[in-house]
Structure 1
């Protein structure tokens, strides 16, 4: 499958009563095909748009989409931030938390934690995503506490 064909499949995806396992399997198949394409980075933005369009779909834990995005290393950071600015979702907030936990200097960590705090004021924040943000903010503000 070409990257353009994969982007088209992502853009036109509709859950249509599929089971969570069927959705996850479908995304694994697409992402497996994508990883062999030289222009695979073209799919970063469409993957984030899919997650925003279906914010509460079970994508796995973390699942093929998150694994694929994270495989782009530093190239996915700016698209992640743009996605969070447009519409935070439980998966993108989770990805921000993972990025916050990664090895980095103090100022980078502080900036990411501040971004997480700012998400609590986002106008598109639904209850489920708010709960995820609050949990991650609490975790970042009180590391090591259970």
Structure 2
């Protein structure tokens, strides 16, 4: 069994493969994270997963894929790191995660604050174009749901 610290080191060394590689990045990450939840300190991997997304914003890690599913397992622990990541370097996956959070919210004020964050990302100048487009798409989707 791999310890959390070993898993974090593997994530730091991880270099994504091309889309035509025999194994996808999602499968490779699944193999790295295989033992994670056997460790009591598994939550320590959270910042490393966001760092991986930020370092490779245009890489297909699956949608939602292993990274998102792993992070969402830490309900109540990953959200603060998600918001920090969105401020540093929004990616398609972090924007997807924000949209998933919005879908789960029942408090209108909190929902509107998060929808506003989507809007801000969608009009920002200095971020990844794919993340911007994803934010714009989710923003439009959320606005339609508010009206419905």
Aligned length: 145
Question: Do the aligned residues in 2 keep the contact of 1:24 with 1:63 (CA within 8 Å)?
Answer: yes
Unaligned runs of 5+ in 1: none
* Structure 1 residues 22 and 16: CA distance shift in structure 2, 3 A: closer
4+ aligned runs moved over 3 Å, structure 1 = 121-124
TM-score (norm 2): 0.90
Q: Deviations over 1:11-44 (max 9, x none)?
A: 1111254727332111111222111111011100
**Residue 64 (structure 1) shift:** 0.8
Aligned to 1:13: 14
Question: What is the 5 A alignment of 1:1-146?
Answer: 1-17=2-18, 19=21, 21-143=23-145
Unaligned runs of 5+ in 2: none
Q: Distance in 2 between matches of 1:50 and 1:71?
A: 17
Aligned to 1:73, the other structure's residue is in SS state coil
**Backbone CA RMSD of aligned residues:** 1.8
Question: Do the aligned residues in 1 keep the contact of 2:57 with 2:128 (CA within 8 Å)?
Answer: no
